[in-house]
């Protein structure tokens, strides 16, 4: 079992498994599983008490065959070279899967944002923007939000970049606030694609989503919006967790009220509507129809996968299942819908934002929602077709086949072919 693997090794296995079906040369597969560049910078920043602290930070540019590098910026103590390399690889195949003209990148700063004041986070963000400025650009590499970053950080990144460049360039970063060139619908976009993917999955499996029970691990941007939209579709949110622990109620939670509680108190635990509290592992193995891991990588390994009771898993986080977990779940006939499709709504609306910035013409929320739905439904159908056509063992393999074919085609058209 390959379960001790880190995210980058898991990512490489996912690509290699699909590449086998496509019978690609080993040299091509190496290229498809290796980042083109990883920028590592050390940010020395003055804290509020006048002392200096140095933070490790990264920007991994995986592939730009289909367009500029694209991907989020993460603030978390677990951020490492291995992690950003994996996340930038997943971005590459996500943009291929959902068919937007980007390559893949990811960046991050290794820090616990909760341990710093807002002014310190601003100085750290501006130092990061200045450090990566030489390698980003509207046609080169376009950062966006990820774990523990959002409109505030994207606005600071844009402002620093524009100040240093001496011109306005809103399309250099996406996920900005509306008055800074952001798009309607970007904040909810990741949760929206997760809920649409769940809807399409249940339809495809001929199962009722209305009344289906749902557990969500991680109640941040991705998880809480997905939960609210699934609530609107009639699903029953019975279990939710965040880094504080989990809560359960067989009658179902009001997803928006629970989000409001977390906003006010900082945690889902202690929610008065809960009939019971759960550990993180109890949530992942709860008896539900649909499990949505929406926190971090490697949440479900082979051991936990043995006890997963859900019939369908829709991956909201990037890389929440290890290769070992996949190996356990597949023979158990548990349907796993991959991250590179399910959470692709975020980067898709980032693409819409970049298009709007470049055209200086802004779309209505209805248009954003409609175009996003078209991308998600089309990609879902392509995944289902590829699974059948290539007799792929899993939906993950099928989605990678579609995405890899697009990257390889671009590589071929550019003349990079051996």
Ligand X SMILES: O=C(O)CCC(=O)C(=O)O
Q: 289: burial class by Cβ within 10 Å (0-12, 13-18, 19+)?
A: buried
Task: Choose the catalytic residue: 106, 158, 176, 259.
Answer: 106
**Cβ proximity to ligand X, 70 vs 199, nearer residue:** 70
Q: Name the minimum Å distance from CB 50 to ligand X.
A: 34
Q: Is the dihedral of CA 322, 325, 327, 329 positive or negative?
A: negative
3-state secondary structure 355-387: HHHHHCCCCCHHHHHHHHHHHHHHHHHHHHHHH
Alpha-carbon span 8 to 21, nearest angstrom: 21
Q: Is 31 in the site for ligand NAI (CB under 6 A)?
A: no
Helices assigned H by DSSP within 23-105: 26-32, 81-98
Nearest to 189 by CA among 369, 319, 378: 369
Indicate whether 222 belongs to the interface with ligand NAI (CB under 6 A).
yes
Answer yes or no whether residue 147 interacts with ligand NAI by CB under 6 A.
yes
- 39, β-bridge pairs: 59
- Find which of ligand NAI, ligand X, none residue 174 binds, CB within 5 to 8 Å per kind: ligand X
Stretch that binds ligand NAI, among 130-138, 139-147, 195-203, 387-395 (CB under 6 A): 139-147
Does position 86 interact with ligand X (CB under 6 A)? The reply is no
For residue 59, what are the β-bridge partners? 39, 107
Residue of 154, 288, 347, 376 interacting with ligand X (CB under 6 A):
347
Q: Which of 242, 289, 326, 397 binds ligand NAI (CB under 6 A)?
A: 242
318 near ligand NAI, judged by CB under 6 A? yes
Among 13, 110, 148, 318, binds ligand X (CB under 6 A): 318
Active site residue 106: yes
Residue 290 contact partner, candidates ligand NAI, ligand X, none, CB within 5 to 8 A by sort of partner: none
Ligand-binding site membership of 357 (annotated): no
Q: Any binding-site annotation on 190?
A: yes
CA separation for the pair 418, 416 (Å, rounded): 7
Residue reference for tokens 């599983």: 33
Q: Where are the alpha helices (DSSP H) in 99-253?
A: 118-132, 151-165, 186-204, 221-232
Provide the CA 319 distance to its chain's centre, in angstroms. 8
- Planar angle of CA 365, 191, 324, nearest 5 degrees: 150
19 versus 72: smaller Cβ distance to ligand NAI? 72
71 contact choice in ligand X, ligand NAI, none (CB below 5 to 8 Å, kind-dependent): ligand X
Tell me the torsion sign for CA atoms 15, 132, 317, 190.
negative
Is 193 among the annotated ligand-binding positions? no
Stretch that binds ligand NAI, among 44-52, 116-124, 238-246, 270-278 (CB under 6 A): 238-246
Q: Using CB under 6 A as the criterion, which residues of the chain lie in contact with ligand X when the complex forms?
A: 70-72, 91, 94, 144-146, 174-175, 318, 343, 346-347, 350
Q: Using CB under 6 A as the criterion, which residues of the chain lie in contact with ligand NAI when the complex forms?
A: 145-148, 190, 217-223, 241-243, 280, 294-296, 316-318, 343, 346
Catalytic residue numbers, as ranges: 106
């Amino acid at each position: 079992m390959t379960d001790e693997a880190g995210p980058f090794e898991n990512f490489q296995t996912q690509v290699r498994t699909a590449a086998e079906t496509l019978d690609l040369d080993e040299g091509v597969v190496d290229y498809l599983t290796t980042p083109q560049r990883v920028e590592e910078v050390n940010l020395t920043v003055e804290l509020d008490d006048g002392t200096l602290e140095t933070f490790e930070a990264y920007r991994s540019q995986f592939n730009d065959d289909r367009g500029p590098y694209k991907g989020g910026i993460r603030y978390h103590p677990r951020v490492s070279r291995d992690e950003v390399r994996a996340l930038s690889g997943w971005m590459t195949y996500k943009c291929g899967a959902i068919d937007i003209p980007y390559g893949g990148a990811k960046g991050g700063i290794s820090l616990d944002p909760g341990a710093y004041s807002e002014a310190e986070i601003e100085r750290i963000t501006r130092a990061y923007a200045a450090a990566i400025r030489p390698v980003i650009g509207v046609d080169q590499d376009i950062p966006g939000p990820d774990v523990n970053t959002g409109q505030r950080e994207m606005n600071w990144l844009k402002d620093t970049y524009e100040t240093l460049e001496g011109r306005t360039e809103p399309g250099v970063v996406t996920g900005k606030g509306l008055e800074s060139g952001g798009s309607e619908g970007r904040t909810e976009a990741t949760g929206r694609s997760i809920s649409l993917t769940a809807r399409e999955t249940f339809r495809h499996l001929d199962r009722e989503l209305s009344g289906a029970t749902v557990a969500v691990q991680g109640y941040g941007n991705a998880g809480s919006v997905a939960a609210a939209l699934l609530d609107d579709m009639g699903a029953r949110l019975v279990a939710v967790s965040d880094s504080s622990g989990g809560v359960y109620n067989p009658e179902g939670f009001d997803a928006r009220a629970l989000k409001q509680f977390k906003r006010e108190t900082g945690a889902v635990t202690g929610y008065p509507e809960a009939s019971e509290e759960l550990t993180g592992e109890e949530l992942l193995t709860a008896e539900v129809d649909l499990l949505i891991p929406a926190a971090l990588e490697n949440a479900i390994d082979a051991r936990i996968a043995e006890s997963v009771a859900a019939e369908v898993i829709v991956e909201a986080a990037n890389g929440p299942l290890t290769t070992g977990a996949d190996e356990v779940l597949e023979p158990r006939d548990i349907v796993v819908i991959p991250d590179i499709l399910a959470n692709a709504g975020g980067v898709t609306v980032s693409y819409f934002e970049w298009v709007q910035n470049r055209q200086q013409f802004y779309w209505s929320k209805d248009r954003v929602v409609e175009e996003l739905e078209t991308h998600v439904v089309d990609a879902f159908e392509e995944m289902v077709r590829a699974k059948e056509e290539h007799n792929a063992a899993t939906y993950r393999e099928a989605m990678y086949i579609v995405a890899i074919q697009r990257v390889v085609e671009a590589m071929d058209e550019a003349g990079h072919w051996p």
